[in-house]
């Protein structure tokens, strides 16, 4: 199928979003990308000195790194050590502000540029075995060249650094605590959820990786096959992703027993929240889960500049308890901490499954038939930018529900709610689908609709099928992306399903039709989790 105008616009939008987001999140650090190799004195506002060093990584490559040591280090004592692998495409000075703060609190901190990016050697392996081996090499170096305590080793990182930290916790028993921020538990479930290629997320990673690093031939091939929707390579793509998924090594992570804190954003368009919550639920050691408004890395992004930031504050508290033994109460708090997108208020829960206390059911009655390959006007927005707008201005993607063309969008609406509805957790859709083609894609959306019919996006998710018998109905069960959103009193909810979204690659052949029905013996519905 030839790329539609929507597809071409999406590609341009993705590159623009990648450049803008990278500028916003890396403007200050990028100015120091070519850091000197000689020791640098402490800045006037901090007593912790920093050194820029070269560390030998796996296979003999050079990893560019910086080391902060507590100012009172005199060779007579050892300190807990925290290793920080950089995020995807970020220079080695990404964590300088937070590293200095940690060093001032009595930690040795080693931040290093992940292989294949900027001045570090090697090629981009996308959190492969060589990246995991690099993490252990950096720990080895820290124990040999700094006053680091071998019994008090921690790792932390944002995004790519978070994934590497979790994978390292499965292979290196020395790691006692991890803070994984905006990372992933399941790479396949992140960028291929609902068996649908997350186009803008992949384009974002590919474009920024090529701009700031040296992609390996394997990564280039994977990206080419992924964006080309090469189904002949689907199992190879899944195997590649599983190899890089911490969830695949849960038995080892749990056996090693590291205390793991996970922090992510509700609107993360690279690593959606569902796979993080699923991973968290399967951890058996000390653990903590935090969700806040925002998109990929934006919940903790301002903390990289040294500004006050709740995520980084909790990260330090996590390490203070599990590496230093501080009795700061973090182990006695509710381990699941959620921040509402609507109010900014925090809520604590004993577990992820305890987040909703009731379900609001929306019946998807009747039969609705839609044409494919037309953009109805309902969509999930742009990677990074849309959820940032929601985070800072509470302006999620919007659509006029009455004006959505019913020929290309199926629409169902609830009654008006006399009281506010606190949506908390994972909305689930169940329906019966009939397609005129053996393959297809549908995207489901849940909107908060006000009196004027303007819908604010609460959540959404894509769904793709292959190998179905044309004109034969089949059941569909789809989990939409988890969220925390407050629907005001007097508003109602709308469920919308269409077939085109710039965030995703669709698989609808030209001229295909999709029919959504609700058989009497298997009625269709959407179940919305709420906190009463």
Percent of the chain with pLDDT over 70: 91
Q: What is the pLDDT of residue 168?
A: 98
**C-alpha span between 493 and 462 (Å, rounded):** 19
Kindly tell me if the per-residue pLDDT of 18 is higher than 60: no
* Cα–Cα distances in angstroms (integers) from residue 138 to residues 94, 151, 225, 486, in the given order: 17, 15, 33, 44
Q: Does the pLDDT of residue 46 top 60, yes or no?
A: no
- Quick one: 83 exposed, middle or buried, by C-beta within 10 A (0-12, 13-18, 19+)? buried
Contact status, residue 120 vs residue 61, Cβ threshold 8 Å? yes
The rounded Cα 57 to chain-centroid distance in angstroms is: 27
pLDDT value, residue 214: 98
CA distance 264 to 262: 7
d(CA 458, CA 99): 36
pLDDT at res. 183: 98
Among residues 32, 53, 27, 30, the alpha carbon closest in space to that of 43 is found at 32
pLDDT interval class at 49 (50, 70, 90): confident
Provide the Cα torsion 266, 228, 10, 436; round to 10°: -90
Q: What is the pLDDT of residues 189-229, one digit of tens each?
A: 999 999 999 999 999 999 999 999 999 999 999 999 999 99
pLDDT value, residue 48 = 79
Dist. CA 7–CA 512, nearest whole Å: 18
Please state the rounded mean pLDDT for residues 361-368. 97
**Is 8 exposed, middle or buried (CB count within 10 Å of its CB: 0-12, 13-18, 19+)?**
exposed
Tell me if 159 sits within 8 A of 183, measured CB to CB.
yes
CA 134 to chain centre: 23
pLDDT tens by residue, 439-483: 999 999 999 999 999 999 999 999 999 999 999 999 999 999 999
pLDDT of 37 strictly over 90: no
**Residue 387 token pair:** 């959820």
| Confidence class for position 47, pLDDT limits 50, 70, 90 | low
Mean pLDDT for all residues in the chain? 92
pLDDT at 85 over 70: yes
Chain segment 260-272, per-residue pLDDT in tens: 999 999 999 999 9
pLDDT score of 163: 98
What mean pLDDT is predicted for residues 323-328? 98
pLDDT tens-place string over residues 486-518: 999 999 999 999 999 999 999 999 999 999 999
Whether residue 34 is predicted with pLDDT greater than 90 in this model: the reply is: no
Q: How far apart are CA 180 and CA 336, in angstroms?
A: 15
- Name residues whose C-beta falls within 8 Å of residue 341's C-beta, 6 or more positions apart in sequence: 266, 267, 293, 390, 391, 394, 396, 483, 484, 485, 486
Q: Could you tell me the pTM of the whole model?
A: 0.91
pLDDT surpasses 70 at 256: yes
The H helix count followed by the E strand count for the chain is 13, 23
């Amino acid at each position: 199928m030839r790329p539609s105008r929507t597809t071409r616009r999406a590609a341009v939008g993705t590159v623009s979003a990648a450049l803008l987001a990278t500028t916003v999140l890396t403007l200050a650090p990028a100015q120091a990308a070519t850091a000197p190799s000689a020791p640098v004195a402490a800045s006037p506002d901090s007593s912790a000195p920093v050194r820029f060093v070269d560390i030998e990584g796996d296979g003999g490559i050079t990893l560019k790194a910086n080391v902060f040591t507590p100012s009172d280090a005199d060779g007579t004592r050892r300190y807990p050590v925290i290793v920080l692998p950089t995020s995807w495409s970020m220079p080695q000075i990404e964590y300088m502000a937070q590293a200095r703060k940690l060093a001032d609190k009595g930690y040795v901190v080693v931040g290093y540029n992940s292989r294949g990016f900027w001045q570090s050697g090697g090629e981009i392996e996308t959190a492969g075995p060589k990246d995991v081996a690099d993490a252990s090499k950096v720990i080895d170096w820290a124990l040999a060249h700094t006053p680091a305590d071998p019994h008090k080793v921690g790792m932390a990182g944002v995004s790519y650094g978070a994934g590497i930290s979790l994978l390292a916790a499965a292979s290196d028993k020395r790691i006692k605590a991890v803070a994984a921020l905006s990372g992933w538990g399941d790479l396949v479930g992140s960028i291929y959820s609902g068996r649908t290629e997350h186009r803008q997320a992949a384009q974002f990673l590919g474009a920024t990786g090529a701009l700031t690093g040296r992609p390996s031939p394997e990564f280039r091939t994977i990206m080419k096959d992924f964006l080309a929707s090469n189904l002949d390579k689907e199992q190879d793509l899944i195997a590649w992703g599983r190899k890089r998924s911490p969830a695949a090594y849960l038995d080892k992570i749990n056996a090693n027993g590291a205390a793991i804190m996970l922090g992510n954003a509700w609107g993360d368009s690279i690593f959606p929240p569902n796979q993080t919550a699923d991973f968290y639920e399967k951890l058996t050691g000390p653990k903590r889960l935090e969700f806040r408004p925002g998109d990929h890395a934006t919940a903790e992004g301002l903390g990289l500049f040294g500004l006050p930031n709740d995520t980084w504050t909790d990260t330090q508290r996590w390490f203070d308890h599990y590496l230093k033994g501080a009795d700061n109460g973090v182990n006695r708090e509710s381990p699941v901490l959620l921040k509402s997108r609507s109010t900014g208020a925090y809520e604590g829960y004993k577990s992820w499954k305890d987040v909703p206390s009731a379900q609001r059911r929306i019946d998807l009655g009747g039969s609705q038939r839609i044409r494919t390959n037309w953009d109805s006007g309902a969509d999930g927005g742009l990677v990074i930018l849309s959820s940032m707008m929601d985070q800072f201005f509470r302006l999620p993607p919007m659509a006029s529900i009455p004006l959505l063309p019913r020929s290309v969008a199926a629409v169902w609406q609830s009654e008006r709610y006399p009281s506010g509805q606190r949506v908390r957790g994972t909305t689930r859709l169940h329906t019966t689908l009939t397609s005129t083609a053996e393959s297809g894609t549908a995207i489901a959306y849940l909107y908060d609709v006000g009196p004027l019919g303007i819908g604010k996006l609460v959540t959404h998710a894509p769904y793709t099928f292959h190998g179905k018998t044309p004109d034969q109905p089949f059941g569909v069960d789809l989990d939409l992306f988890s969220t925390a959103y407050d629907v005001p009193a007097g508003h109602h909810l709308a469920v919308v399903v269409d077939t085109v979204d710039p965030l995703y690659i669709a698989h609808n052949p030209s001229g295909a039709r999709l029919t959504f029905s609700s058989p009497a013996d298997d009625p269709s519905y959407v179940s919305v989790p709420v906190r009463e």
